[in-house]
Structure 1
Amino acid sequence: MTTTRAVLARTALLVAILLTATTGCSGSDTTPEPPPASEPAGSTDGANAGADGGADAGTGGDGGTGEGADGGTGTGGERDDTGQVRWAGGVRLDVDTYQDLDDEPSGGRGSASSSEPATDLRVELSRLTFKPGAGAASWPGPPERPDRSTCSALLQPLSTQETVPLPDGTVWCFRTVQGRYGFLQVKRADLHALTLDVTVWEGTSG
């Protein structure tokens, strides 16, 4: 009986030892996972700063382009060309035609109808007749050729006339229907045509 108990006690002790050994081996084989590696603070900050700097540079480029385009457009729109010569030269205008003096007459034939809205005057045998809205004023000189400001001042309502006689050499300031100023000098008048020296300036203000 005593022997049996001793055998059982030894067996229990061996089993306990084996279980302890087995648990120890299993624990030693399990390697704990390392914590996730974190990026160095310096590299993250550097990347963010680089991205921000690139975005800022792009914004600056857009801003510069917009300002340049707007500035150029504004300056061009504000240019005042009043006083510059629109056209000048000698012209030969056929008698019994209507002429537009805002642009240089081509060939002198003009229009045969007074209903043409762009025309400024009618060429007749011994005179010019300006349409309503246009007109002329005699320039006695000197000098022989007035400038734009002189013609503008001369063409006041009380001094403007619509009918202009055509003795050779006379000089007349005129205003077109569109409001441009100019002057003409009579060079020659015959039964078929009138030869003039004409200058017309840009700008329709006074």
Structure 2
Amino acid sequence: MVSGWVGVALATAFVLTTALCAVSLAVHGARRTRRLAAAEANHVVMGVGMILMVVPSTAGLVSPTVGVVLFGLMAVAWLGLLVVGGLLGEPRGSIIGCGRCTGHPVHLLALDAAMVVMYLAMLPPPMPAMPGMEGMHHGAHVSSSPVLTAVGVVLAVYLAAHAVATAVVLRRTPEPVPAGGAALPAPVRVAVRGNVQLVGQAGMGLAMAAMLLVGH
């Protein structure tokens, strides 16, 4: 949950990027591999979770425990795919680009791990110890854990760097040449090149990086 203009900006970013990912999934999902469709669906679920998390009036709709379990299972699934693929000698491809990056197990593992970190930070503090029960409760609120904070910062740096790298790749992708030779508007070029999902996912990653840093 983030209040003020920062919260409004983040909520707007998540709404827009989730919409892009949902449009891409609906329009192109049937023509892609199951992995890419699953990756886009993963982004849509993350986007919805982030929208609910960042808006104060909806922040409590999803229990932090449910969020940790849900995205933890997703992270385990991508980790399993990564391990199995490695054992089978499956080529990975670039983690950044216009093809495999949207379904790359390492990238999706990092995204789901970021969601787990944010939900862990929302867990309520332990109940205060009653007289005579010292030692029954250990540690402080999980969100104040230096380890969790460090992991969040590392993931934020990765997501921001990945978003910037994706923007560079999109910028360098050859533009379609129209029949009349005239330049196409930028939004049309992006749509024609089929990179709507990359724009949405890169924007979502950048907003998640900001959320990780603001939350810690």
**TM-score for both structures, normalised by structure 1:** 0.20
**Structure that is richer in strand per residue:** 1
Larger radius of gyration: 1
